[in-house]
Structure 1
Amino acid sequence: MPGEIYNPNPTIFRTESPSSSSRLAQKRSLWINDDESTDVEENDEIEAIDQDEIYDLIRHIYDPEHPNTLEELRVVSAPQITVSGNLIKVEFTPTVPHCGMSTMIGLTIRVRLMRSLPSRFKVDIVVKPGSHESEHAVNKQLNDKERVAAALENPLLLKTLEESLDGINQRNPKD
């Protein structure tokens, strides 16, 4: 995304070896179709999901302004994820307290989980308390359905989001 780089020299951390692909990571429509809402009713057994599975879904998302994953930048980690029944809470830590990409990162995490998880899950995305100057405003934006829907109608934001999810132009950015 063009503009000011908020953290021009982030700390990069060593990551775990890539895990096997989860069946949850299959690409799905951004919005749930009515046809898919009967999946739970047709299947008597509801498969439980744990924090490691959620972490595997989001750890390989690329930062919108750096050629590194959220795992490499320690923006997300397994202990920052809680799963309680059908409620999933993902807490993430921006690389700097004034990060202008925090909302974009949270939106990307939300979209990855929307596309990957069954519709029975409610997902809350929040900034780690005390890690961002505009923590309350970012959290409000990330957990408001109308604001999320409006953001996803913006072609530039959607392009940046897709690039973060797919890793396009991230490892070898154009000079």
Structure 2
Amino acid sequence: MTLGLINANPVVQAKKERLARTQDQHRDDDGLDTLDIYEYVRDIRDPEHPYSLEQLSVLSEDSITLDDKLNRIIITFTPTIQHCSMATIIGLCLRAKLKECLPLHYKVDIRVSPGSHADEDSVNKQLNDKERVVAALENPNLRQLVDECLCSNEI
């Protein structure tokens, strides 16, 4: 058992194989689909554990919605516990990774799954407030933590 962790023993799923693309999968005008977006973010490492968000079932392909008419992406993630203190860090990691990978014209909304976090409204507000996100990513300690979670996650 690791000391100081809110969820010291998370349920860990086996790492999945890369998903196969089906021929009828819809792509938007940029050639982007939900599978592409999922591939960008699935290997982000959890801030507290040496596992990916996918392995901890925080994120799945089904938790990503792409509205190509509005150029809008919605990512809904599920923290491992109701009082996850790292939910905002996870959201910052998702936002930072997508900023690196996506064309600038996409609007990205990141939220916790309804009912999955005790402070859901506050977390969602923080993750989708541009000024708060910019300020958080300018904080050297937070930026370092985000960068560590985005680094190579070969486990």
TM-score (norm 2): 0.87
CA displacement at 1:18 relative to structure 2: 3.9
Q: CA RMSD in A?
A: 1.9
Do structure 1's residue 79 and structure 2's residue 62 form an aligned pair?
yes
* 1:4 equivalent in structure 2: 4
- Give deviations 1:95-147, integer Å, cap 9, x for gaps: 00000000000010000001110001000000000000000000000000000
* 1:150 equivalent in structure 2: 135
Amino acid at match of 2:10: P
How many residues are matched? 144
**Alignment partners' CA distance in 2, 1:138 and 1:48:** 31
Do structure 1's residue 14 and structure 2's residue 14 form an aligned pair?
yes
**Alignment partners' CA distance in 2, 1:110 and 1:9:** 26
Matches for 1:94-109 after TM superposition, within 5 Å: 94-109=79-94
Do structure 1's residue 54 and structure 2's residue 37 form an aligned pair?
yes
Moved over 4 A (4+): none
Long gaps (5+) in structure 2: 21-27
Long gaps (5+) in structure 1: 21-44
Matches for 1:132-171 after TM superposition, within 5 Å: 132-167=117-152
CA displacement at 1:6 relative to structure 2: 1.5
**Alignment partners' CA distance in 1, 2:72 and 2:97:** 16
Amino acid at match of 2:133: V
**Alignment partners' CA distance in 2, 1:5 and 1:154:** 23
Q: Which has the larger radius of gyration?
A: 1
Match of 1:151, SS state, is: helix
